C-alpha cells in the first residue's frame, strides 16, 4: 500500500509543534517581569514566541532544508547588547526542546529562516510560534500553529493547544491537545499525553438558533458589537465563547461551538497568513467552510498577509451561507460592498 500524501511533512510538523508547545509551557512556569518586548504595533512578544520559532524552524530545517518559512517573529530585538539578556534566555529555553543545542549565532539565523515573503508559487511553511500571545500571558488559550502551503493551497496543518481542555465538557480535566489535518485526509485530535489520533468533526446543528459563536477575547482584533447584532439577526441567544488564538478554529472543528466570526475592526489591517492557514484547513476537513466577510475563500497566495480578504467567517457547510447573509446585512446595510 502506498503511503498517504504528505506523511513525512505531517509527522515532522507534529514533532515540531509538540516540542515547541512544551517549551512554551516551560516558559510560562518561569515567566517573570521584563521578559516581554513590544513590537511597533504594540503586540507583545515573549521569550516563548522566539524559542518556539527557533524550535520549529530547527525541525523544519533538518527535514526539509530547502523549504522556505513564513514565520511571525524575527531576531532583530535579540541582537546586540540590548538583546543580550533576552537572547540568552531564548537560547536556554529553545535548547531545552532540542537534541542538538543551537549556539548564540545559529539561533538568530534559525529564527530568521522565517523571514520568507510568501507568494503564489512553490512550497512554504507558515508558522505562528505562539498565536494568542496575549492569551499565553494571561495563562489562557494560545496555540503553536504550523501549516504547509503549496502553490497558495494549504495542504497540512498542525496546531498545539497546551491550555485547551481535551474535552470541552470537562473544563477542569486534562489539558493539552494537538489538532492535525492534511487536505483530503480529515481532521484529527490527539492529546499531548497520548499518540492516539481521534477523528473530529463540526457539530451538525439542525437550527441556527441553537448555535453559539466563538470569537476573539480582544475587542481590538474583532468587532464584537457587530458580531452581537449578527447573532441577534440569526436568533442566536447563547452568549459567545471568547477565546484567544486559533484554538477558536480547533474548538469549532470538534463541535464545541458552531461559528467563528472575526469581523474587521479597521479597513487597513491585513490578516496574517500564519494566523489562519492551519486553522482554516482544519475546519474545512472537519466539514466546514471558511471565507472572509464577503464569502470569498481565504487566499494564501499574496505574500505574508491575506491581502485580498477581509475578516473571517467559519461555520459548518450547511449554515455558512446563512451566516454570510446575516454578516452582509449587518456590515453592509446599504447593500454596498
Ligand X SMILES: Nc1ncnc2c1ncn2[C@@H]1O[C@H](COP(=O)(O)OS(=O)(=O)O)[C@@H](OP(=O)(O)O)[C@H]1O
Binding residues for ligand X, rule: CB under 6 A, are: 43, 72, 128, 130-135, 216-218, 220-221, 244-245, 265-266, 269, 272, 275
Instruction: Specify whether 49 is catalytic.
Output: yes
Q: How far is the CB of 128 from ligand X (least distance, A)?
A: 5
| Residue of 133, 181, 244, 256 marked active site | 133
Is residue 275 part of an annotated ligand binding site?
yes
Q: How far is the CB of 332 from Mg ion (least distance, A)?
A: 27
DSSP annotation of 4 reads P
H helix intervals, 64-140? 84-95, 104-111, 133-138
What residue 134 binds from Mg ion, ligand X, none (CB within 5 to 8 A, per partner kind)? ligand X
Q: Is 131 in the site for Mg ion (CB under 5 A)?
A: yes
Q: Of 10, 244, 255, whose CA–CA distance to 130 is shortest?
A: 244
Q: What is the rounded CA–CA span in Å between residue 235 and residue 217?
A: 22
Q: How far is the CB of 273 from Mg ion (least distance, A)?
A: 10
What is the strand order of the sheet 213-215 is part of? 241-242, 213-215, 259-262, 312-316, 288-291
Q: Which one of 128, 256, 258, 271 is in contact with Mg ion (CB under 5 A)?
A: 128
Is residue 72 part of an annotated ligand binding site?
yes
What residue 135 binds from Mg ion, ligand X, none (CB within 5 to 8 A, per partner kind)? ligand X
Q: What is the rounded CA–CA span in Å between residue 253 and residue 248?
A: 8
Q: How far is the CB of 34 from ligand X (least distance, A)?
A: 20
Of 72 and 226, the one with the shorter C-beta distance to ligand X is 72
Q: Is 43 in the site for Mg ion (CB under 5 A)?
A: yes
- 62 to each of 58, 98, 101, 111, 173, how far by Cα in Å? 6, 12, 13, 14, 36
Q: Is 72 in the site for Mg ion (CB under 5 A)?
A: yes
Q: How far is the CB of 190 from ligand X (least distance, A)?
A: 22
Of 6 and 215, the one with the shorter C-beta distance to ligand X is 215
Q: Is 258 in the site for Mg ion (CB under 5 A)?
A: no
- Which residues, in sequence order, are CB contacts of 160 under 8 Å at separation 6+? 17, 18, 20, 21, 143, 144, 177, 178, 192
Instruction: Specify whether 133 is catalytic.
Output: yes
Q: Which long-range contacts (CB under 8 A, 24 or more apart) does 291-299 make?
A: 291/320, 291/324, 293/263, 293/264, 293/324, 293/327, 293/328, 293/331, 294/324, 294/328, 294/337, 295/321, 295/324, 299/152
CB 181 within 8 A of CB 287: no
Of 175 and 221, the one with the shorter C-beta distance to ligand X is 221
Q: Which of residues 135-154 bind Mg ion (CB under 5 A)?
A: none
Q: CA torsion sign, 104 to 107 to 108 to 109?
A: positive
Is residue 324 part of an annotated ligand binding site?
no
Active site residues: 49, 133
Positions in the binding site for Mg ion (CB under 5 A)? 43, 72, 128, 130-131, 133, 275
As annotated, the binding site includes 72, 128, 130-131, 275
As annotated, the binding site for Mg(2+) includes 72, 128, 130-131, 275
Amino acid at each position: 500500500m502506498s503511503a498517504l500524501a504528505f506523511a513525512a511533512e505531517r509527522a515532522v510538523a507534529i514533532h515540531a509543534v509538540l516540542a515547541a508547545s512544551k517549551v512554551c509551557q516551560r516558559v510560562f512556569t518561569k515567566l517573570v517581569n521584563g521578559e516581554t518586548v513590544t513590537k511597533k504595533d504594540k503586540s507583545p512578544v515573549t521569550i516563548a514566541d522566539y524559542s518556539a520559532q527557533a524550535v520549529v524552524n530547527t525541525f523544519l530545517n533538518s527535514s526539509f532544508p530547502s523549504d522556505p518559512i513564513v514565520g511571525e517573529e524575527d531576531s532583530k530585538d535579540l541582537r546586540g547588547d540590548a538583546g543580550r539578556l533576552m537572547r540568552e534566555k531564548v537560547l536556554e529555553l529553545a535548547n531545552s526542546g532540542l537534541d542538538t543545542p543551537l549556539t548564540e549565532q545559529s539561533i538568530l539565523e534559525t529564527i530568521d529562516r522565517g523571514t520568507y515573503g510568501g507568494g503564489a508559487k512553490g512550497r512554504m511553511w507558515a508558522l505562528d510560534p505562539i498565536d494568542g500571545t496575549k492569551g499565553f500571558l494571561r495563562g489562557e488559550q494560545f496555540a503553536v500553529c504550523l501549516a504547509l502551503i503549496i502553490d497558495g493551497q494549504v495542504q497540512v496543518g498542525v496546531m498545539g493547544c497546551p491550555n485547551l481542555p481535551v474535552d470541552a465538557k470537562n473544563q477542569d480535566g486534562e489539558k493539552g491537545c494537538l489538532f492535525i489535518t492534511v487536505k483530503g485526509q480529515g481532521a484529527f485530535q490527539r492529546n499531548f499525553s497520548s499518540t492516539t489520533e481521534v477523528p473530529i468533526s463540526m457539530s451538525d446543528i439542525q437550527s441556527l438558533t441553537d448555535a453559539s459563536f466563538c470569537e476573539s477575547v480582544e475587542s481590538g482584533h474583532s468587532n464584537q458589537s457587530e458580531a452581537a447584532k449578527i447573532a441577534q439577526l440569526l436568533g442566536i441567544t447563547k452568549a459567545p465563547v471568547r477565546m484567544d488564538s486559533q484554538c477558536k478554529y480547533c474548538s469549532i472543528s470538534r463541535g464545541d461551538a458552531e461559528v467563528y466570526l472575526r469581523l474587521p475592526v479597521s479597513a487597513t489591517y491585513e490578516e496574517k497568513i500564519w494566523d489562519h492557514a492551519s486553522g482554516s484547513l482544519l475546519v474545512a476537513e472537519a466539514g466546514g467552510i471558511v471565507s472572509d466577510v464577503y464569502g470569498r475563500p481565504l487566499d494564501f497566495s499574496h505574500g505574508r498577509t491575506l491581502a485580498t480578504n477581509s475578516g473571517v467567517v467559519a461555520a459548518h457547510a450547511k449554515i455558512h451561507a446563512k451566516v454570510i447573509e446575516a454578516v452582509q446585512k449587518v456590515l453592509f446595510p446599504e447593500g454596498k460592498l
